[in-house]
Homo-oligomer: A and B are copies of this chain.
Amino acid sequence: MKTPPPSAETDAPSARLVRGDVFAIPCPSREILTHVSSRWGVLILVSLLDGTHRFSELRRRMGGVSEKMLAQSLKALVEDGFVRRVSYPVVPPFVEYSLTPMGHEVARHVAALKDWIETNLDRVLDNRRQHEEAVAG
């Protein structure tokens, strides 16, 4: 009777391939999700889909980011391995950001979501108006 375990959590200790579970409170996948789906995380990933960019380029492109937030968001994505940071020791500073292969994978999903929202904006806005009327009337 060797029924395989339903989840991989009970697998062999060494080469375990654990799957995340966003529904579980302590799962680190939640943190990663917030990094990539945060307001600036999304814009960074999407921006880098068309190649490498400097800090200031990203800043100019993304309306409304403060330097602090951009730096913070980039740092999180670099730590997670989605973005590669290359800095040249010159003055003034010169730093390039680009997607890692892994970053490219997530970025595609994120971009798909972002594109859906952008192209279907009208539909959503119409729904909102209808909803308002329905509530008011």
* Chain A residues touching B, majority SS: helix
Q: A23-B62, A78-B131, A113-B37 known; A28 and B125 CB under 8 Å? A: yes
Are B113 and A81 in contact, with the CB atoms below 8 A?
Answer: no
Q: A81-B123, A117-B106, A122-B17 known; A42 and B32 CB under 8 Å? A: no
- Residue total for A at the interface (Cβ-Cβ under 8 A): 54
**A110 sits at the interface (CB 8 A):** yes
Are B28 and A33 in contact, with the CB atoms below 8 A?
Answer: no
A27, A79, A105: which has the most chain B beta carbons within 10 Å?
A: A79
Are A117 and B62 in contact, with the CB atoms below 8 A?
Answer: no
User: Within residues 84 to 115 of chain A, which ones have a CB less than 8 A from any CB in chain B?
Assistant: 102, 105-106, 109-110, 112-114
User: Within residues 119 to 133 of chain A, which ones have a CB less than 8 A from any CB in chain B?
Assistant: 119-128, 130-131
Q: Which residues of A contact B (CB under 8 A)?
A: 17-25, 27-30, 32-34, 36-39, 42-43, 46, 61-64, 78-81, 102, 105-106, 109-110, 112-114, 116-128, 130-131
